[in-house]
Amino acid sequence: MSKFNPIVIEALADAWASIDGKMEEFRAGKEAASIEAEPGGYYSGYMSDADELAKRLLKRGYIIMLNRPRRFRDLDHDALENEGLKRAGYQRLNDPDA
């Protein structure tokens, strides 16, 4: 289990996969029911590598963090429905609970 926020690790892994030209494969693997069902192992592989990269950066005194305000307009509706983002404190601007 990682000590880092899974949203941050997934963002790092997604960015890394896009640099490698494997972003579509990475995102497809996210939907797999298990590691065994994951096509090519891209999702779990990039997530593991991103977690290790975050650990090594932390040892050197660096942190990885979201550089945006807690409430913003530029996330798409589907992303806002993600429970992880809700737990992290993000809310729609028109959310009556905000």
Q: Which pTM was predicted?
A: 0.64
For tokens 């550089």, name the residue.
Answer: 67
Count Cα neighbours of 88 within 13 Å in the Cβ-side half-sphere. 20
The answer to whether position 95 is within a domain reads no
pLDDT tens, residue by residue, 12-64:
999 999 999 999 999 888 888 677 777 788 899 999 999 999 999 999 998 88
The answer to whether position 98 is within a domain reads no
The answer to whether position 1 is within a domain reads no
Distance CA 51, CA 55 (A): 6
The answer to whether position 61 is within a domain reads yes
The answer to whether position 76 is within a domain reads yes
Using only C-alpha atoms, the chain has a radius of gyration, in whole angstroms, of 15
In which domain, by residue range, is 71 found?
6-87
Nearest to 88 by CA among 15, 8, 1: 8
The answer to whether position 97 is within a domain reads no
The answer to whether position 18 is within a domain reads yes
Domain count, the chain: 1
Each residue of 25-51: b (16+ CB within 10 Å) or e?
Answer: bbeebeebeeeeebeeebbbbbbeebb
pLDDT tens, residue by residue, 62-76:
888 776 655 545 555
